[in-house]
Structure 1
């Protein structure tokens, strides 16, 4: 997969590396068509004659072919200028087939790093925190993105790190995986003790409640405002979080779990949910940012569950929510741009919105027609109010926009 494309006998031998510094006069005897998509191409990039778009695409995805969204059409998509943004898997496969090599990306990074190091030695300014902006972003628990020295950008990356860290701290997905892995060792009669859809939903709610409550934007609200926000948005947050939860744990692929949820929600809803999970963006960080955005929505359920909500003071002063929404939405977009570039970011963001609207539409139907579901969430709402009242005087910020965990 990573081998270089062989040149024809009529082409003079030359070094081909990631810098793409191939003399155009030497290249003039070749076609000026990108071997991947057919767009205009002038130089060899990472081992294959390619356009700027395909060069950028391969640089972004060449190191992680297993992490791209799988093809939905049996890996036989035609890649051209019009369809190159449609299927990431087939486009990347064609890049490799045409001779692009991820080793040449590393070679280019090494050269740039050496040039940067020499500049650092002659500079009196401390550049110890500088990173190559073209280096692939690496996500870790409390150091999500490395790179920009601007204090404004640095505070945003700290905020992103805190969101991811807080989500993972309160998540129960790891415990769920342990339970799933232990299932084969259990006797069938013991299944009911671990395959309990209501308890799984309760655990997801507790996880999201703790995640949202750790936000300083939530802590500065009054008790009535906090309660109102949960009443309006916890349903939608849980519904969207369930897509990440079920994908990560894989429990809907286990017949015992899938059938247990069918007893509550019916086969149509569960099959639809499973299809939605398959379409979900593979980047979990995007989902975690979306969750905190939804938490500060005016109402992401689209069903009025509380008739007194219309007289809610928090809705009258919507600007208080807009401040939080703007911060998190801006963070989401900058994360997308820095990791995927503009074109792919727009596509990913559009798909996320489509999936969320689909989830919310199904949730509204379930909430309206499923009495068992309403009972589950009414109980959760009552417990949430009690928890908020108990913790009303707790103003300890677990993370903040300008602080590190």
Structure 2
């Protein structure tokens, strides 16, 4: 604190401003953006709330199903509570630093929380609070299904190029306002996003296990759908369609009707990112050809080679929903995704008249074919 009577200098003002302005850092638990220290460590608000809610003896005694080897990051931090809590302790968070942690209040809060979980009223189009998966029946998903689920999520997080989107937004925001999100930059951005989404499916082990011709046919059949819905999901994470400059450039790349439909789809997407990533993996193995009529004969898909994977992924999606939500909520979420898929079909039909969209899709297919040749 400045002593009374001392003159206020530019240096002292600069120090005071730096003290008021929090320095952005990474959360020690999940790597998300963090500003302050909570309970002994610099963590984000989500991890702070998680630690306060779960610092009970019951959770501490629980064990991870995978020998405490789960990697905790911003994308999967809700999948394993024991490993997340163990990491909280490892970085220095302490139960003793939580104020007013009274057992009686905790019991009331827990009872109120269970009443919310048991409610039959579905919650739609709003953020769903994080649930503790350890409170559900572990037998819903087998060990093999958990491993496959984890691999699918990890594959998406590693190859979808989310860091590229963050870098793109950061670089655009550094430009003068009138130069941000120009047509050329946004067009190149969409091409990169579509290639990254396609790369996710090309790295899938079940996709690589298909014969060469089946992979090419599946790619050409599903590429419009998978890259479109995957791109919408990623762009929606950064709320880019809320930016008027980006929106106008997107209308030049696609048709205005298609962009308007895309915005409605993004607003309707499920907030459970794990569920959406699993749904995308399932869509990549669909055997239904996209509804665009052309003069050329449609390619025939080897359903016998693809349907087993599609059935396996569909079962994992459904079991995951039952694992995380009640039965009625699982149905609501599944039907919401089906509705989004139908809207995506409409958006692609509208965008199909755009030359730029066709060129983007052809570019993705061509690059995929080149990889196969190599």
Same fold, TM-score > 0.5, yes or no:
yes
State the Cα RMSD in Å: 3.4
Instruction: Give the corresponding residue for 1:374.
Output: 358
Please state if 1:245 is matched with 2:234: yes
User: Which residue, 98, 107, 116 being the options, matches 1:58?
Assistant: 116
Instruction: Give the corresponding residue for 2:170.
Output: 181
- 1:83-121 per-residue CA deviation (whole Å, 9 max, x = no partner) reads x336586999xxxxxxxxx9xx9xxx9xxxxxxxxxxxx
C-alpha displacement of 1:191: 3.7
C-alpha displacement of 1:306: 8.3
**Which deviates more from structure 2 when the two are superposed, residues 219-228 or residues 339-348?**
219-228
What pairs up with 1:114-133 in 2 under 5 angstroms?
Answer: 133=134
Rounded to whole Å, the distance in 2 between the matches of 1:202 and 1:17 is 50
Instruction: Give the corresponding residue for 1:358.
Output: 343
Rounded to whole Å, the distance in 1 between the matches of 2:164 and 2:360 is 22
Instruction: Give the corresponding residue for 1:127.
Output: none
What pairs up with 1:1-400 in 2 under 5 angstroms?
Answer: 18=107, 46=111, 56=114, 58-59=116-117, 84-85=121-122, 133-134=134-135, 148=138, 153-187=142-176, 191=180, 196-303=185-292, 307-310=296-299, 312=300, 315=301, 317-367=302-352, 369-390=353-374
Instruction: Give the corresponding residue for 1:40.
Output: none
* Structure 1 residues 331 and 190: CA distance shift in structure 2, 3 A: same
Q: Are 1:294 and 1:300, in contact at CA under 8 Å, matched by a contact in 2?
A: no
* Structure 1 residues 179 and 197: CA distance shift in structure 2, 3 A: closer
Rounded to whole Å, the distance in 2 between the matches of 1:90 and 1:209 is 28
* Structure 1 residues 57 and 166: CA distance shift in structure 2, 3 A: farther
* Structure 1 residues 309 and 176: CA distance shift in structure 2, 3 A: same
Q: TM-score, normalised by structure 2?
A: 0.64
Rounded to whole Å, the distance in 1 between the matches of 2:336 and 2:155 is 25
Rounded to whole Å, the distance in 2 between the matches of 1:57 and 1:234 is 43
Q: Are 2:221 and 2:290, in contact at CA under 8 Å, matched by a contact in 1?
A: yes
C-alpha displacement of 1:202: 1.6
Structure whose CA Rg is larger: 1
* Structure 1 residues 271 and 361: CA distance shift in structure 2, 3 A: closer
Report the count of equivalent residues: 272
* Structure 1 residues 305 and 90: CA distance shift in structure 2, 3 A: closer
* Structure 1 residues 289 and 306: CA distance shift in structure 2, 3 A: farther
Structure 1 unmatched ranges of 5 or more: 1-14, 20-43, 48-54, 62-80, 93-101, 110-131, 136-146, 391-405
Q: Are 2:258 and 2:347, in contact at CA under 8 Å, matched by a contact in 1?
A: yes
Q: TM-score, normalised by structure 1?
A: 0.59
Rounded to whole Å, the distance in 1 between the matches of 2:248 and 2:125 is 33
Structure 2 unmatched ranges of 5 or more: 1-103
* Structure 1 residues 197 and 56: CA distance shift in structure 2, 3 A: same
C-alpha displacement of 1:241: 0.8
Q: Are 1:16 and 1:46, in contact at CA under 8 Å, matched by a contact in 2?
A: no
- 1:315-340 per-residue CA deviation (whole Å, 9 max, x = no partner) reads 2x412211000110000000000001
Rounded to whole Å, the distance in 1 between the matches of 2:128 and 2:303 is 44
C-alpha displacement of 1:194: 9.0
C-alpha displacement of 1:192: 6.1
> Helix, strand or coil for the counterpart of 2:220?
helix
